[in-house]
Chains A and B, each alone.
Chain A
């Protein structure tokens, strides 16, 4: 009987699978290596109908607003139809790279400013310098600081949709009960907090272990920076960083924040807190889920040596997939240029539209966050630096330090030093990998 023995069968199967695996590895997820810039086309696209896929990370209260904005574009442009997909930011950033490499992804996407270098180096997104010039967009069309940010290694990678920054939200009834008029200002911070505690709000400002945006704000206010200009050295472990961490821990030790708080928005909504340090995404959230609370928003207070506040922005990017032919490239550029200019409706999502025209529009002037869109505030925005893989470095370094210090698990100086060493080691390794 020459039947295959069980061992022989298993051996053959394993060899076949291995061979299949190794041979299939020839087709790899690899960037072509060619970083051809986006096609510079002028005017709006008017050719045969084109369908574009558009991915964005707006899964919260801002999602429906973006969908409406895209619908406005679709109505105005019958030859370019855009299909929107909102996915969680982590998923978007993980999926867009292999999807575009396999030509199964979007032609246009929204990315945060600090994510642009990571995808620029991997060929997922294309440089936009000539395309933006051909579309007639210049710095004057945008609010101060927004347009210049998206330049990495002398090339432009994104067109801003909006800018957002950390802000303070204060509860009018709680402040009035304490005999205070808001908002909180840095010089009188301690006495205002004491007054609030005396009037019955035991913990006026809750700080959570995930408040790394607050850390970045304080770091800039105390004169520090996350990385140096060239993105070669991690510098957040400096004295400014230690001071920032100590200030955050000081809130817990002074009883202004409870120990071990995990969520800062919910207590603000139900009156356990009187002050909230949060991003503008809180605005639609508070409007929807706390309609009875009389809250106000104001620029974040300066408790350090100079005014500064954490800032970031959402950018439109064109992916490698949009350049597959001239029609698609032209249509994608048309979409991005139109959205970037006409984003007045986007103000409803709580962010500050980057377009100067949208900022001047009446609909934005009526919004809650217009107080944050003053030039004086926008000039103090401390944007996240353009360092590739910065989010990965952050997770292993200063985000962990913030968490440990706020929870009292580590001293500020030790945590800052360890985080900086970790970030520097990872940064060196990544720079070697990228050949920077």
Chain B
């Protein structure tokens, strides 16, 4: 038993306070460093994200047709026109939003459930696992123009192989995949799932591998079957990742444009023209910057609301288990 002087502070406390003094001295000299590290990315971010948003918000308050002199401030008139059902702009915009909503509602569940299932399969140990991981991810490296053209020809009702293969196995081989509804939606959702499931699957796979094995073993010891373990261990451990994937998938689906423009060519009529498709046509081809900006702002606001709802849903549902 050693005798320690009560007066003097224990060596560890002294060392700690000296350490604090030393580290604050270090921090004091380099307070700007974090901001300097951020500066290059911030410049890019400001130029390509913040400034366009600000310009878009500013433009949406003006009647601005590219190339014409005069750009009067009209306040919220562009927004009012979007909600005036007698205006062509409003009718077209909301039917575009309807198409966007249909596509989002149809594709997001599939784009969350199917990649999750694929990730669970790819998480097993079997020969050729790496090969299959590459195969499922491969379509994602192609650009939208490539997959759009590819699937337009594959799904052509009279000239493409899909109908011919279906007929060969005895199924109806005359479905108009690219020129009728609801087959058009099936085509668009199917193509999008094929194209992007690899991306979501890779994220889910990484998250699955982070689920602590001990939790699974403890659950097994407690007598939980595979489904019970899935519900009680796997999903709650992945709550944050699930929330992230659901949010980005909703946003990506709501911003869909390429597949509709290439696979179904926004047919029949303009039934598969999404909101972004109409915004692009109004702004880029019609030169109506004011209206296009107002539509973009409305779409962005709706997406923010939806993201907020997703956040709230996940906080409430999974919160108690974390």
A30 touches B287 (CB 8 A): no
Minimum Cβ distance to chain B for residue A201 (Å): 13
Q: Does B255 contact A (CB under 8 A)?
A: no
Residues of chain B within 8 A of A360, CB atoms compared: none
B285 touches A392 (CB 8 A): yes
B176 touches A260 (CB 8 A): yes
A21 touches B55 (CB 8 A): yes
A25-B179 contact in complex given A267-B159, A400-B270, A426-B88, C-beta closer than 8 Å: no
Picked from A18, A29, A422, the residue with its CB within 8 Å of the CB of B67 is A29
Q: Which residue of B lies closest to A20 (CB)?
A: B51
B179 touches A260 (CB 8 A): yes
Q: Does A5 contact B (CB under 8 A)?
A: no
**Segment with Cβ contacts to A, from B12-20, B198-206, B208-216, B261-269:** B261-269
B31 touches A210 (CB 8 A): no
Q: Does A98 contact B (CB under 8 A)?
A: yes
Q: Does B42 contact A (CB under 8 A)?
A: yes
Q: Does A46 contact B (CB under 8 A)?
A: no
State A29–B67 Cα separation when bound (angstroms): 6
Residues of chain B within 8 A of A260, CB atoms compared: 157, 176, 179-180
State A425–B91 Cα separation when bound (angstroms): 12
A-side interface residues, number (CB < 8 Å): 58
B268 touches A407 (CB 8 A): yes
B67 touches A101 (CB 8 A): yes
Instruction: Count how many pairs of residues, one from A and one from B, have CB atoms less than 8 Å apart in the complex.
Output: 121
Q: Does B167 contact A (CB under 8 A)?
A: no
Residues of chain A within 8 A of B152, CB atoms compared: 262
**Segment with Cβ contacts to B, from A74-82, A89-97, A179-187, A325-333:** A89-97
Minimum Cβ distance to chain A for residue B199 (Å): 28
A407 touches B71 (CB 8 A): no
A17-B268 contact in complex given A28-B71, A391-B285, A422-B88, C-beta closer than 8 Å: no
State A122–B68 Cα separation when bound (angstroms): 5
B87 touches A425 (CB 8 A): yes
Residues of chain B within 8 A of A121, CB atoms compared: 67-68
Minimum Cβ distance to chain B for residue A309 (Å): 25
Picked from A90, A389, A429, the residue with its CB within 8 Å of the CB of B88 is A429
> Which positions 91-111 of chain B face chain A at CB distance < 8 Å?
91-92
> Which positions 57-115 of chain B face chain A at CB distance < 8 Å?
58, 63, 65-69, 71, 87-88, 91-92
Residues of chain A within 8 A of B179, CB atoms compared: 209, 260-262, 407
Minimum Cβ distance to chain A for residue B286 (Å): 4
Minimum Cβ distance to chain B for residue A158 (Å): 17
B67 touches A392 (CB 8 A): no
State A195–B205 Cα separation when bound (angstroms): 61
Q: Does B50 contact A (CB under 8 A)?
A: yes
Picked from B68, B265, B267, the residue with its CB within 8 Å of the CB of A434 is B68
Residues of chain A within 8 A of B156, CB atoms compared: 262-263
Residues of chain A within 8 A of B315, CB atoms compared: none
13 contacts between A and B (CB under 8 A): A22-B54, A24-B51, A28-B71, A31-B68, A97-B66, A119-B67, A209-B267, A210-B265, A262-B156, A262-B179, A404-B269, A422-B88, A433-B65
B positions within 8 Å CB-CB of A? 31, 35, 42, 46, 50-51, 54-55, 58, 63, 65-69, 71, 87-88, 91-92, 152, 156-159, 176, 178-180, 265, 267-271, 281-282, 284-287
